[in-house]
Structure 1
């Protein structure tokens, strides 16, 4: 393992971004069938190729030599403002993943710092995320707190 460098993702790295998301989801939820996985890959590629140039999604890769070993992304979301966030702009942090051999080396923390700084420069009023049990301490050390506002979800089928 060499020295880790951090690369902001451009269109040239979309395939790595797709690979990292599929790898994370497979580790977290378990492997899916080939057809379902390919459908997800196609959807992810379309999403990243649309959102990266628009500046509404940003991501960084942690690189060890010529291979990616960690990743993190943020979707910038604009909604009507409120009293606690007048401009309504939020940063939804997602796809935070470090390959197992590189964990516990500060990679997720470094990527999170890059995402937070980008969000501040983009005028984000607040950041949100969902955390795995293993990932929660990274976010808590960065000042994230679990909030008590109810969240509901309905999956369209």
Structure 2
């Protein structure tokens, strides 16, 4: 088996959207939550990917085994007023990290993470944020991510 890595292009969007929904479903159900039946993410995800890929504010690397996508990663770029620990004000928001269960524990997630972190550095980001799933915490800690106890969120 030879794993090949490449950047997401519009050619893979429909496949990536299905994988993203599968990932979100897996995360929701593993936390004991029920996936809302009245939320259809397909159109919203397609709009997000097309707009942000075109604008250069989102990058994703994929892992392939032959023609099969077995891993994904994503990094959104945002900007806020600069501050001491991030003088550029440019932020990376890590998301969509997912590896097919049959390919886990093979270093694929680390390879994908390394590629999107390098993209964030090239973009000029001074900080990268992630809301990690329970499964992903060890990966991010081993890579050098630190917990930020001040993180809070507000949902509408």
TM-score of the superposed pair, with normalisation by structure 1: 0.91
Instruction: Tell me the TM-score normalized by structure 2.
Output: 0.92
SS at match of 1:91: strand
User: Which residue pairs with 2:112 in the alignment?
Assistant: 111
Which residue of 2 is the match for residue 75 of structure 1? 76
Match of residue 57 from structure 1:
58
Q: How far, CA to CA, are the matches of 2:36 and 2:140 in structure 1?
A: 32
CA distance in 1, matches of 2:93, 2:44: 19
The residue aligned with 2:155 is 155
Pairwise CA RMSD of aligned residues?
1.4
2:89 paired residue number:
88
Task: List runs of 5+ in structure 2 lacking aligned partners.
Answer: none
> How far is the alpha carbon of 1:131 from its aligned partner?
1.1
Number of aligned residue pairs: give it. Answer: 152
**How far, CA to CA, are the matches of 1:122 and 1:33 in structure 2?**
35
Counterpart CA distance in 2 for 1:87 and 1:32 is: 38
Q: Using the alignment, how far apart are the partners of 2:96 and 2:45 within structure 1?
A: 12
Residue 12 of structure 2 is matched in structure 1 by: 13
- Aligned twin of 1:124: 125
- Distance, in Å, in 2 between the alignment partners of 1:20 and 1:112 is 17
Q: CA deviation at 1:35?
A: 5.2
SS of equivalent residue, structure 1 residue 96: strand
1:144 aligns to 2:145 (yes or no):
yes
Cα distance between partner residues in 2 of 1:34 and 1:65? 34
In the TM superposition, residue 99 of structure 1 has moved relative to its aligned partner by: 0.8
1:26-76: CA deviations, max 9, x gaps?
A: 11113746653xx21110011001001111010011100101011010000
The yes-or-no answer on 1:28 pairing with 2:34 is no
Displacement of 1:11 in angstroms is 1.4
